[in-house]
Amino acid sequence: MRLTFLGTGTSFGVPVVGCDCRACTSADPRDRRTRHGALVELDGGTLLVDTPQELRLQLLAAGASTVDAVWFTHLHADHVYGIDDLRVFSVRRRAPLPAYVSEEHRRGLETHFAYIFDASVEAAPGSSIPKMEVHTFRHAEPVRVLGHEVVPLRVPHGPGSAYGFRVGGLGYVTDGKALPPDVMDLLRGVDVLVLNALWFGNPHPAHFSVEEAVEAARAVGAGRTYLTHLTHRVTHAELEERLPANVMPAYDGLSVEVTS
C-alpha cells in the first residue's frame, strides 16, 4: 500500500495571501501547502481522500492518472469544493465513480452538489458533469472499498464530526480534535498513522495542536506518525527539529509505503 499526500495545509493554504511570515516566505518547497487531500494506492485501485480546491493541480503534480473511488471525511469547503475535478475520471471510465460518505453527511453532500447527485440533471450537449455513485458508511462498521475492508472512524471536529478510516496498516484521521477510546482501540497496531496538527501550543476547538497530536500518536503506538493539515505558524524545518523521532511532518507530494 502506498500513501501520497496531495495537500497538507489548512483551509488558508500556505503561503497565506498577503502574509510575510517565515513560513509564507520560506524558500523550502515543503512549506508550500495546498489544501488537504491524499491518495491511497491499494492493489484493487486508487482511493482519493477528499476533493480540495487545488485537486487538479495536486493530481498533476503527483503524476496521478486514475482515481477509482473517493472518500469524503466531512463537508467543509477545503475538503469538498474541488469535486468537479472528478469529471475526468467518470467520463473516462464511462461509469459513475464510487463515492463514500457518512450517513450523517450524505444529505449535505447531495444538496451542496445537486447537479452531480440529482439523477434528473443531465449535462448540456457537448459538456460533462461528474457522475458518482454514493455509498454510505457508519462509524466503526467496516465497508468494502476497492476490495479492501475499510473501517470508518468518527472523530469530534468542533460542533460536528469528521470521518477518518483504517485500512490495513494505515490509520488516517484529519480534522479531528480527539481520538475517542473506541477509535484509539481501532487504530492500535497501525504501521502508519496520519493526524492533523495546526501549530505548537494554543489549543484549538476543532483540531489537534502539535503537542496534542504527538500525545495521541504516543497513545496509539503507531510505527510512524505523519502530521498534516499544518498552518503557516510552523515551518517544516522547525517541525523536524522539535518532533520526536517517530513523528514526522508530511508535505505536499510525500509518498510513503505502508505495511498492510
82, 172, 175 from 4: Cα distances, Å: 18, 12, 18
Burial class (CB in 10 A: 0-12, 13-18, 19+), 226: buried
Residue 126's pLDDT is what?
Answer: 86
Percent of the chain at pLDDT exceeding 70: 100
Residue 40: φ, ψ to 5°: -120, 110
| Antiparallel, parallel or unpaired: β 160-167 and 148-157 | antiparallel
Per-residue pLDDT reduced to its tens digit, 105-136: 999 999 999 999 998 898 889 899 999 999 99
Residue 42's pLDDT is what?
Answer: 97
Per-residue pLDDT reduced to its tens digit, 70-112: 999 999 999 999 999 999 999 999 999 999 999 999 999 999 9
- The domain ranges of the chain are 2-139+149-251
Confirm if 188 and 198 have CB atoms less than 8 A apart: no
Residue 31: φ, ψ to 5°: -90, 5
Long-range contacts of the stretch 184-187 (C-beta < 8 A, 24+): 184/216, 184/219, 184/220, 186/140, 186/151, 186/153, 187/153, 187/220, 187/222
Q: What angle do CA 11, 16, 21 make, to 5 degrees?
A: 130
State the pTM of this model.
Answer: 0.97
Percent of the chain at pLDDT exceeding 90: 96
Distance CA 75, CA 175 (A): 11
**Number of CB atoms found within 10 A of residue 127's CB:** 8
Residue 44's pLDDT is what?
Answer: 95
Q: What angle do CA 197, 198, 204 make, to 5 degrees?
A: 105
Per-residue pLDDT reduced to its tens digit, 182-207: 999 999 999 999 999 999 999 999 99
At the topology level of CATH, where does 2-139+149-251 sit? Metallo-beta-lactamase; Chain A (3.60.15)
HSE, side-chain direction, 13 A CA sphere, residue 150: 27
pLDDT mean across residues, the chain: 97
Q: Point out which residues pair with 162 in neighbouring strands.
A: 155
Distance CA 79, CA 54 (A): 10
pLDDT band at 247 (very low <50, low <70, confident <90, very high): very high
Per-residue pLDDT reduced to its tens digit, 17-59: 999 999 999 999 999 999 999 999 999 999 999 999 999 999 9
